[in-house]
């Protein structure tokens, strides 16, 4: 019995070994699916000119990078989001190159700015018949302050002669000098229309040789006015000056016209009508 069981066991072992040798060992990983394939990473988009971290792209390879304050410049402290989307639209300008901000009274070469020097010829005609008209020169300087404020100073000097009358000495010479120092503020009603208010001190000295009519006067003056930019190259002004002086003009109405001949240079003509004198002027104004 034991011998029979042993023979059966050997027969089964030989059969199993024969089958294993015929079919071979299963391949490694048989019965398992293949390893997953990772997707390829997306290709990043090409950055716009000027945003690739290299040299400034600009609109032309021959252009240099824009300077601070240029309409094409990037973010600044005043506008940190100026180049937020990679592009910045240029500031709107008029035909003379002034930006809208400058036309509203900001710094720059706008014809309505508040940073300029002015020189002019002035003719003054006293209302008293015993004096001839006088000729002279005048200067003015306006400097901006923060926001809407500015400082202003003027000086004018004229000289003339008296007539041969019983009231005046023969050809009596006289001089008239005026100085104003003050400041003010402006309010842009529109892009081309400004309301301006000034207040300050005025000093006047009238000296006539041979005539007992000399005086020195001073006081406080207030001048509301309007500045209107008719076109890019033309400005009109009109104002009324009221002062606390006794002998000099206490009320004056004035009109002025400015005409741009160069980007920062204007020619002007004007007239003023007071209760003591009448004046006419012509000159030039330099803006910066």
Q: 145-191 pLDDT, tens per residue?
A: 999 999 999 999 999 876 545 444 445 588 889 999 999 999 999 99
DSSP letter string over 221-235?
A: EEEEEEEEEEETTEE
SS3 call for 69: coil
Structure token pair of residue 208 = 């006539």
Of 154 and 13, more confident: 154
**Spatial distance between the Cα atoms of 169 and 208, rounded to a whole number of angstroms:** 10
Q: Would you place residue 84 in the very low, low, confident or very high pLDDT band (cuts 50, 70, 90)? A: very low
**Spatial distance between the Cα atoms of 95 and 98, rounded to a whole number of angstroms:** 8
Q: Would you place residue 276 in the very low, low, confident or very high pLDDT band (cuts 50, 70, 90)? A: confident
pLDDT single digits (tens) 188-216: 999 999 999 999 999 999 887 766 677 89
The burial of 174, by beta-carbon neighbours within 10 Å (0-12 exposed, 13-18 middle, 19 or more buried), is given as buried
**Given this model, what pLDDT does residue 38 score?**
72
Structure token pair of residue 178 = 């005026």
Nearest-CA neighbor of 245 among 217, 272, 270? 217
Q: Would you place residue 13 in the very low, low, confident or very high pLDDT band (cuts 50, 70, 90)? A: low
The pLDDT of residue 98 is above 80: no
Considering the chain, what is the average pLDDT of its residues? 76
The pLDDT of residue 119 is above 90: yes
Q: Would you place residue 44 in the very low, low, confident or very high pLDDT band (cuts 50, 70, 90)? A: confident
Burial call 60-90: b when 16+ CB within 10 Å, e when fewer: eeeeeebeeeeebbbeeeeeeeebeeeebee
Arithmetic mean of pLDDT, 131-137: 87
CA angle 203, 196, 244 (to 5 degrees): 30
Structure token pair of residue 31 = 């019965």
Nearest-CA neighbor of 287 among 144, 110, 139, 119? 110
Kind of pairing between the strands at 134-144 and 116-126: antiparallel
Structure token pair of residue 114 = 């508040």
Of 48 and 279, more confident: 279
The pLDDT of residue 89 is above 70: no
**Given this model, what pLDDT does residue 214 score?**
78
Of 222 and 65, more confident: 222
Which residue's entry shows tokens 């890019």? 232
SS3 call for 17: helix
Burial call 19-47: b when 16+ CB within 10 Å, e when fewer: eeeeeeeeeeeeeeeeeeeeeeeeeeeee
Arithmetic mean of pLDDT, 46-54: 59
Predicted model pTM:
0.62
Burial call 138-158: b when 16+ CB within 10 Å, e when fewer: bebebebeeeeebebebebbb
The pLDDT of residue 106 is above 80: no
Q: What number of CA atoms fall less than 13 Å from residue 143's CA on the CB side?
A: 6
CATH of domain 105-287: 2.40.128.100
Q: Would you place residue 143 in the very low, low, confident or very high pLDDT band (cuts 50, 70, 90)? A: very high
Of 85 and 166, more confident: 85
Around Cβ 223, how many Cβ atoms within 10 Å? 21
Q: Which of 11-25, 166-180, 244-258 has the lowest mean pLDDT?
A: 11-25
Q: Would you place residue 26 in the very low, low, confident or very high pLDDT band (cuts 50, 70, 90)? A: low
Arithmetic mean of pLDDT, 86-100: 48
The pLDDT of residue 219 is above 80: yes
* Boundaries of every domain in the chain: 105-287
SS3 call for 215: strand
Rg, C-alpha atoms of the chain: 44
């Amino acid at each position: 019995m034991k011998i029979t069981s042993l023979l059966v066991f050997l027969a089964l072992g030989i059969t199993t070994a024969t089958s294993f040798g015929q079919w071979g060992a299963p391949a490694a990983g048989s019965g398992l699916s293949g390893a997953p394939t990772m997707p390829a990473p997306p290709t990043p988009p090409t950055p716009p000119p000027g945003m690739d971290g290299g040299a400034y792209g600009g609109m032309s390879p021959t252009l240099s990078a824009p300077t601070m304050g240029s309409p094409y410049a990037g973010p600044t402290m005043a506008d940190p989001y100026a180049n937020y989307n990679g592009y910045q639209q240029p500031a709107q300008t008029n035909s003379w190159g002034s930006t809208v901000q400058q036309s509203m009274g900001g710094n720059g070469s706008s014809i309505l700015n508040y940073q300029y020097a002015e020189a002019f010829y002035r003719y003054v005609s006293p209302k008293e018949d015993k004096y001839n008209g006088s000729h002279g020169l005048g200067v003015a300087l306006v400097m901006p302050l923060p926001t809407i404020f500015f400082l202003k100073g003027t000086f004018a000097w004229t000289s003339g002669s008296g007539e041969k009358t019983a009231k005046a000495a023969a050809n009596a010479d006289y001089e008239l000098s005026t100085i104003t120092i003050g400041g003010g503020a402006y309010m842009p009603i529109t892009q081309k229309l400004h309301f301006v208010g000034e207040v300050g001190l005025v000093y006047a000295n009238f000296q006539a040789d041979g005539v007992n009519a000399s005086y020195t006067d001073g006081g406080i003056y207030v001048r509301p006015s309007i500045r209107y930019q008719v076109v890019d190259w033309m400005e009109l002004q009109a104002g009324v000056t009221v002062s606390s002086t006794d002998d000099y003009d206490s009320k004056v109405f004035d009109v002025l016209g400015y005409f741009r001949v160069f980007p920062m240079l204007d020619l002007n003509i004007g007239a003023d009508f007071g209760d003591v004198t009448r004046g006419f002027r012509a000159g030039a104004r330099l803006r910066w």
